[in-house]
Copies of this chain bind each other. A is one copy, B any other.
């Protein structure tokens, strides 16, 4: 045993005890006759003191050579500090060192191992093992571990069984792109890494396991957007003999439990909102309801004058921005530029300042009179001192633009509080969504989602209008979970594949095992999957998932620390019955 105590453990009641500590040199202050060293480990920092009067001379000399991040083991006695440090739990004591050993030396690290580091993202990722020594990263990994454990505690208590499903499965062209794994033993054939254990968890329900969960890695070979990882972790769940209501209640229970046990916050029952309502009210299927600025559709009260921009728009929609009526012309111009950025894409923005005296000043005063503007204010809920922002155009695009503006203003106005939790169920998602590129319908959730039974006839006449038994759990403007009640009979599943453009042969080749399974007594079932990386980040009050992942990949899917992916031997390729056709000049 290299230590009798950790560096977070010693208190005033350990006074005069002989202790052995080990850890990293955080910093060292050499005052000549006295040297202080902060010794750090996972558990905290303990101050060591080397004192010319009480510490042997040769130990003193050795101590002068200690550099940052040296790993040492010390023996010494716990003494009371003269100037106490109330900021840390060990701040009342220090350890007078009698002897120490250098367990390992350290080169000067490429960035400072401090809460606020001087290392940029690239450097931190290359030396991730040093980055992890920093409290902000270490604490996030510990936090993640705690959340995962609480998820397991809750679900186990509720009778869920964690079942490991296979990682080497079969590639299916539906959905995102698979990562594949060539098989050496089955030449010319490939496994795929799972995008989710979807079909396996459904088969477990057919197998009678009743309540399944798994915290599991999933893989998607997509062009990476910021904060997306090629491998990510899901809390994957499925239940048999349930209706949508049962799933919502069960996982509302889990989410409440987490927010209470992790954050110490009690949340009331979760509100529910249909997809249509969310889109209409927030322009978004994952609205942040911690703050207002609800959308008001203004077509009826704007399209009666000569303002062509509004008259030709499919949708005219506005929000009232609280206390922004005092924005200067410059600030408003900046907002207009912000919505015109290519990432948002609005053509322009109409605004109305609601003056404190009850009058209005708008950018469209020549088309609309005070009565018009008062009506807009009423509909958007704008009060004196607010600013009304109005966008117009094609419905979906305009909603997305105004939603982006609403979120941006929510951030700017400090309305998105990290310690406030506003969960929301969004329900009744459309079954299908039209894809302009391929000119066909795709499954909005996935092809195993059941349509609302009463809407089945609509499939033939107006497929886009059919709603599914699908739901998302939204927390603070982020989708943290999503799921559905599944199809559990072969005929409906075959019909869905047909609608999605599968030939019967393709459906059989890819999902024959599932449709077979449905013929041998499949129970009604449904489930949900949470994105653990995202969930943990939100519970931790952060927007970025990256530091909640021990070894994340960069936006090119590379692990810059181990330098992967990498070339492999020709012999290895040959064994796999493969040749690479890559011909770039360098790689």
Q: Which residues of A contact B (CB under 8 A)?
A: 1-3, 22, 24, 40-43, 69-71, 73, 103-107, 109, 127-133, 138, 141-142, 144-145, 148-149, 152, 156, 161-171, 173, 177-193, 199-200, 203-204, 206-211, 217, 219, 221, 223-224, 230-231, 233, 241-243, 245-246, 488-489, 513, 516-524, 549-551, 553, 556-559, 561-569, 572, 574-582, 584, 587
Stoichiometry (number of copies):
2
Partner pick for A149 among B73, B162, B587, CB 8 A cutoff? B162
Min CB gap A215→B, angstroms? 9
Q: Contact check, B148 vs A569: say whether CB atoms are below 8 A apart.
A: no
Q: Is the CB–CB distance between B564 and A191 below 8 Å? A: yes
Across-interface contacts of A209 in B (CB, < 8 A): 42, 132, 138, 141
Nearest Cβ distance between residue A56 and chain B, in whole angstroms? 24
Determine if B567 and A574 form an interchain contact, defined as CB atoms under 8 angstroms apart.
no
With CB as the reference atom, state the residue of chain B lying closest to A511.
Answer: B562
User: Which of the residues B104, B129, B173, B185 comes within 8 Å of A203, measured between beta carbons?
Assistant: B129
Contact of A168 among B141, B183, B223, B559 (CB under 8 A): B559
Contact status B580-A186, CB under 8 Å: no
Given contacts A189-B566, A207-B128, contact A161 B142 (CB under 8 A): yes
Assess whether A581 is in contact with B578, with CB atoms less than 8 Å apart. Answer: yes
User: A190 CA to B133 CA in the complex, in Å?
Assistant: 30
- Complex-state Cα separation, A40 to B190, whole angstroms: 38
Q: Is the CB of B208 within 8 A of A42?
A: yes
* Interface-centre pick from A130, A164, A516, A521 (highest chain B CB count, 10 A): A521
Q: How far is the CA of A144 from the CA of B180 in the complex (A)?
A: 28
Closest Cβ neighbor of A130 among chain B residues: B520
Q: Assess whether B582 is in contact with A577, with CB atoms less than 8 Å apart.
A: yes
Are B186 and A557 interface neighbours, CB within 8 A? Answer: yes
Q: Which of B106, B131, B170 contacts A519 (CB 8 A)?
A: B106
Closest Cβ neighbor of A70 among chain B residues:
B521
Q: Which residue of B lies closest to A68 (CB)?
A: B521
B179 touches A71 (CB 8 A): no
Between A24, A69, A142, A190, the greatest number of chain B beta carbons within 10 A of the residue's beta carbon is seen for: A190
Whether B523 pairs with A103 at a CB distance below 8 angstroms is yes
Tell me whether A182 and B184 are in contact in the complex, defined as CB-CB below 8 angstroms, given that A42-B209, A190-B567 are known contacts: no
> Min CB distance, A341 to chain B, in Å?
27
Question: Do B519 and A566 touch (CB < 8 A)?
Answer: no
A41-B210 contact, Cβ under 8 Å, with A70-B521, A581-B574: yes
Please tell me which one of the listed residues B132, B164, B587 contacts residue A187 in the complex, with CB atoms under 8 A apart. B587
Given the complex of chains A and B, what is the CA–CA distance between A558 and B133 in angstroms? Answer: 42
Other-chain residue from B43, B128, B190 in contact with A566 (beta carbon distance below 8 A):
B190
Q: Taking the nearest CB of chain B, how far is it from the CB of A475, in angstroms?
A: 21
A410 to chain B, nearest CB (A): 32
- Contact check: which of B43, B190, B559, B576 meets A568 at CB < 8 Å? B190
The answer to whether residues A562 and B521 also contact, given A132-B204, A181-B181, A204-B129 and a CB cut-off of 8 A, is no
Q: Distance (Å) between the CB of A287 and the closest chain B CB? A: 29
B524 touches A103 (CB 8 A): yes
Given A203-B129, A578-B580, A579-B578: A566 in contact with B2 (beta carbons within 8 A): no
Alpha-carbon gap, A190 to B207, bound state (A): 36
Q: List the B side residues contacting A243 at CB < 8 Å.
A: 1-2
Q: What are 8 residue pairs bridging A and B, where the CB atoms are less than 8 Å apart in the complex?
A: A3-B241, A41-B208, A166-B551, A168-B565, A186-B556, A191-B565, A199-B562, A578-B580
Which residue of the partner chain B has the closest CB to A551?
B166
Q: Are B553 and A166 in contact (CB under 8 A)?
A: yes
Look across to chain B and name the residue whose beta carbon is closest to the beta carbon of A207: B132
Question: Do residues A161 and B141 form an inter-chain contact, with CB atoms below 8 A?
Answer: yes
Residues in B neighbouring A129, C-beta threshold 8 A: 203-204, 206-207, 517, 520
Q: In the complex, are the beta carbons of A71 and B200 less than 8 A apart? A: no
Closest residue to A211 on the B side, CB-wise?
Answer: B42
Residues of chain B within 8 A (CB-CB) of A242 are 1-2
Q: How far is the CB of A188 from chain B (nearest CB, A)?
A: 3
Smallest CB–CB gap between A326 and chain B, Å? 48
Q: What is the CB-to-nearest-CB distance from A147 to chain B, in angstroms, rounded to a whole number? A: 10
Contact check, A584 vs B187: say whether CB atoms are below 8 A apart: yes
Measured CA separation A169–B171 after assembly (Å): 20
**B166, A559: Cβ atoms closer than 8 Å:** yes
Q: In the complex, what distance in Å separates the CA atom of A145 from the CA atom of B164? A: 9
> Are the C-beta atoms of A162 and B188 separated by less than 8 Å?
no
Contact of A161 among B145, B210, B521, B582 (CB under 8 A): B145
| Interchain nearest-CB distance for A440 vs B (Å) | 18
Compute how far the CA of A93 lies from the CA of B86 in the bound complex, rounded to whole angstroms: 66
Closest 7 CB pairs of A and B: A132-B207, A188-B582, A106-B521, A170-B564, A187-B582, A577-B582, A189-B565
Given contacts A208-B41, A565-B191, contact A166 B231 (CB under 8 A): yes
**6 extra interface residue pairs, beta carbon distance < 8 Å, beyond A187-B587, A191-B564:** A24-B523, A129-B203, A129-B206, A129-B207, A129-B517, A578-B578
